[in-house]
Structure 1
Amino acid sequence: MSKEFTLSRRKALAALGTVGAASAGAGLGTSAYFSDQETFENNSLVAGTLDLKAAYSVHYSDWSADELAGIDEDDVTMTDHEAEFDPGPTRVPGIEFASESDLQQFLENTLVNEDGDASCPDGTDADDLEQPVIELDDVKPGDHGEVTFDLALCDNPGYIWLQVADATVSENGYTEPERDDPDESGVETLPGEPPMDLHVELLDAVQAAYWIDDGNNYVNGDEAFQSQGSLREILGELSGIGAALEGDIPAEQGGGTGEQGCFSAGQHSIGFVWWLPVDHANEIQTDSVTFSLTFYTEQCRHNDGTGDPLTAFVNDDAPLNEQPWDGVVADRTGEDEIVVMNNALTEVNFPDEPLFGSPPQTLPLSFDPRVVRVSTGTTVTWQWQTYSDPFPDIFNGIPHNVVALDGSYSSGPPVPAATASDFSHTFTDPGVHLYFCEPHGSPHFHHSSPGVPFQEVINEAGMRGAVIVED
């Protein structure tokens, strides 16, 4: 088996093809919030800092003989390698050890990479870490891996969120065994064309979980999975603002008011484990999953722990648009009715050459303005922009809709500009109201557009927006 640990912002996880696992990196660092720890010296104001240092260790098990070196085989029991996994100090997916020391030896044997120094003040910044954390070929049913991320909050307590970006999945064609497997959902039409059913089975076959760890790379003591499910479920859960990780001190102790608690200044560890149950085989051949994990921190002091949902959602790094929002907020306060254009133009960046040839640099995959500030009671009307020469006809044929993130309103199924009708909604509640286009800004996995080099995707083109309502 080939194991490559090369620098890249993207990571892969798949089976019997170009395969890999999850990692983290690009999002580590300070946030828009800053520590307000202040001292007065010689009549000057000196602000404190909020800095995040990082390190990681990676374990991977492919059932090779050397994984049990130093362990009596009689002390090892193969368990049911199923989707549901009950963690503990003597268990990894599919294996039960007689003692905790045997598990520790197994983890030592399966350590494949580590990097970084999670210490203050001179530890490793995320951009300096070797990435991806794991990049593996030929992952098979029964394999599993684990990554422990060590994070150091320097000087001040902070909230920490785990987020995902650039999540895409691909079938990568079909092998003969995969095509014949009754669990394979893809149906190929003509040679070289994408399948009619673009459901990628690997996303549901791979299981994953994450937890707050004490740094020993396994669940023990009072530790427990914060979340467990299929990779589809976990990545969907981590999209947008992400999951608030459970801190080690009450928010009030850190000077905040958040419900999830704060992480005290110092080093903390987060574990992320994935496994591919043995009851999945041919239907996942050649499938691949690509995504990036990010840790985001904000100060606790004078902070309610809600994070920055506006930036996290609207400017979420998308596979076809790395920075969808330029930060501009259109001020329409005092107006009773305003218009937001759907099907508006934006720059796009294809990760690979799409099926239809050289990609265009601009496509109608945006709202304009993306973010608007209005007064309470304002009616917002979304109008579908239409195009004529010299723009191609396809610009009027891309289906869009408007869906509130909280489910409070929807324009209905996606429709192209050529047949769309205006959609209006009156905003009566103050706050930040987030919305998206289901095909091109979905916060969950959705079938991708024709011509792009993947089959399912979260937030394909960053087609998201927000209405900020002032009281």
Structure 2
Amino acid sequence: MKKILLSLLSIGVVAVGAVLATQAFFSDEEKSTGNVFEAGALDLKIDYKSTYTRDRVVYEGPHWEWKDLTTEKFFELSDVKPGDKGEGTISLHVFDNNAWGCVNLLPTMNDDVSSTEPELKVDVENTDSIFDGELAQNMQFRVWADICDSGDNATGVDSVVARPGDNIYQEGCDRPLTGGTGPITPMSWALADSQHPNVFTGVVEPLLGSHDYYLGVEWGIPDAVGNIIQTDKYMADVSFYVEQSRNNPRFVCRVPTQGEGQSLKLENETPVVGGPWEVIEDEVYANLTWTGDGATFNYSLTGQGLAANTDYALIYYADGWPGNNPGAFIGEGATDGSGNLAFAGNPDLGIDLPMPADGNYAVGAKLWLVLSSDYNSGNPSTGPMTAWQPDKYLFEGNVYIHYNDTDIP
């Protein structure tokens, strides 16, 4: 029986072969050529207009058509006084995909600058810190989603017809984002993210691509503030960040928080009279990472472009000079013959960063990379600074950190 089946199988194969050899089948071919995957674009552009009111006279402030921001400033005023106020309208345009969006504020100065005789009657003497001023705390700000549209009907507020972007806050119609005194610590607000309602729509959803969004901004100095703000200077960096929402359902706006891995780029800087130092854009820098809060400060540092075969100390510098308020030695390493640097450690600092006596306590701690020979005359296990050669150091780039030593009371 097995032989019969094999024979039949052989015959069947031969028969099929004969059919293939003698038949012409219908056929067709469809071809798709030039297949392309092209990445979409996500680009945020901003336009702006503003006014400034003093002595009840309204002056035009900074303004520009929509663009990518480089050196533009929303506010740049040099002689503000109690009773002054101003406003601005920020228009956001996300091209051309839907996106989550955040606005971040980083204070870079709230300085007393100098102490006049009238100011000293209500304030203490000026210190070395650039965060010893009172201007920020005595200014009032309000930021809102300027969405109110009353059509042709007046809102009842001075018989005004409301329009999106008119920069007139309509209570109960426009949506508030934030308000209060000037922030002196880094802040972040969600325009739209996965955990907060979209400030423009009130629904948890992203910003729509190719759509105009308006933020209104008001600031003012109350009449009653008085002499305590004389000569003070408040500066802050404002940044807007967008990130694609598609395939990104859990995005959340945030500032760095304690208890998580963090990083800081240390760079060489140049002094600026009356303002924060400016970063020199070159290839001389160090990257510092640490694991966040803990019983020890677990860190690693790599650097390049430094002086060759030289000892460097990583320190916490606590204003004012010489930085022992109290400052702290964190670690030390030596560069190789090419100026590259790498070291790590886990010291028990025994203090939080910053400490209350630090002149920058309100905003955070400064970490510097300095010549070991300039820190306590070459005995870097303790401070303070005993020499000053800033062109040979790396600084925190006006980014102040927070660290909680968890094994101290």
- Whether TM-score is above 0.5 comes out as yes
Aligned length: 285
The offset of 1:290, in angstroms, is 1.2
Gaps of 5+ in 1: 1-39, 68-108, 118-123, 189-193, 253-257, 316-323, 326-345, 360-364, 401-412, 425-435, 452-457, 466-471
Pick one of 252, 272, 277 that aligns with 1:306: 252
Pick one of 125, 128, 134 that aligns with 1:187: 125
Residue 261 in 1 paired to residue 205 in 2?
yes
Mark the structure with the bigger radius of gyration.
2
- Relative to structure 1, the CA distance from residue 251 to residue 291 in structure 2 (aligned partners, 3 Å threshold; closer, same or farther) is closer
Distance 1:314 1:278 in 2: 42
Distance 1:197 1:115 in 2: 30
Residue 141 in 1 paired to residue 88 in 2?
no
**Aligned residue identity for 2:143:** Y
The offset of 1:398, in angstroms, is 4.5
The offset of 1:245, in angstroms, is 1.5
The offset of 1:310, in angstroms, is 6.9
Residue 115 in 1 paired to residue 40 in 2?
no
The offset of 1:314, in angstroms, is 4.8
Q: Report the equivalent of 1:297.
A: 242
Q: Report the equivalent of 1:98.
A: none
Residue 370 in 1 paired to residue 289 in 2?
yes
- Contact kept, 8 Å, 1:443 with 1:459, in 2: the verdict is no
Residue 161 in 1 paired to residue 102 in 2?
yes
Residue 61 in 1 paired to residue 53 in 2?
yes
Query: Per-residue displacement from partner, 1:53-103 (whole Å, max 9, x unpaired)?
Result: 210001111133xx4xxxxxxxxxxxxxxxxxxxxxxxxxxxxxxxxxxxx
- Contact kept, 8 Å, 1:143 with 1:276, in 2: the verdict is yes
After superposition, residues 405-416 of structure 1 pair within 5 angstroms as 416=328
Q: Report the equivalent of 2:138.
A: 205
The offset of 1:305, in angstroms, is 2.1
- Contact kept, 8 Å, 2:110 with 2:134, in 1: the verdict is no
The offset of 1:297, in angstroms, is 0.5
After superposition, residues 215-294 of structure 1 pair within 5 angstroms as 215-220=165-170, 222-232=173-183, 235-236=184-185, 238=187, 242-246=188-192, 260-265=204-209, 266-294=211-239
Q: Report the equivalent of 2:334.
A: none
Distance 1:196 1:310 in 2: 23
SS at match of 2:185: helix
Task: Tell me the C-alpha RMSD between the 2 structures.
Answer: 5.1
Distance 2:297 2:61 in 1: 54
The offset of 1:243, in angstroms, is 1.2
**Aligned residue identity for 1:264:** L
Pick one of 291, 298, 302 that aligns with 1:382: 298
Q: Report the equivalent of 1:423.
A: 348
Q: Report the equivalent of 1:97.
A: none
Identity %: 21
Distance 1:112 1:163 in 2: 22
The offset of 1:287, in angstroms, is 0.2
Distance 2:37 2:186 in 1: 41
Query: Per-residue displacement from partner, 1:353-396 (whole Å, max 9, x unpaired)?
Result: 79xxxx9xxxxx98x751579xxxx99763899xxx9769xx58
Q: Report the equivalent of 1:87.
A: none
Q: Report the equivalent of 2:373.
A: none
The offset of 1:207, in angstroms, is 1.4
- Relative to structure 1, the CA distance from residue 41 to residue 116 in structure 2 (aligned partners, 3 Å threshold; closer, same or farther) is farther
Distance 2:273 2:62 in 1: 32
Distance 2:314 2:40 in 1: 52
Distance 1:197 1:126 in 2: 26
- Contact kept, 8 Å, 2:106 with 2:186, in 1: the verdict is no
After superposition, residues 335-414 of structure 1 pair within 5 angstroms as 346-352=266-272, 369-370=288-289, 382=298, 398=316
- Contact kept, 8 Å, 1:444 with 1:459, in 2: the verdict is no
- Contact kept, 8 Å, 1:63 with 1:143, in 2: the verdict is yes
The offset of 1:293, in angstroms, is 0.7
Q: Report the equivalent of 2:336.
A: none
- Relative to structure 1, the CA distance from residue 63 to residue 310 in structure 2 (aligned partners, 3 Å threshold; closer, same or farther) is closer
The offset of 1:208, in angstroms, is 1.2
Distance 2:346 2:39 in 1: 53
Residue 49 in 1 paired to residue 41 in 2?
yes
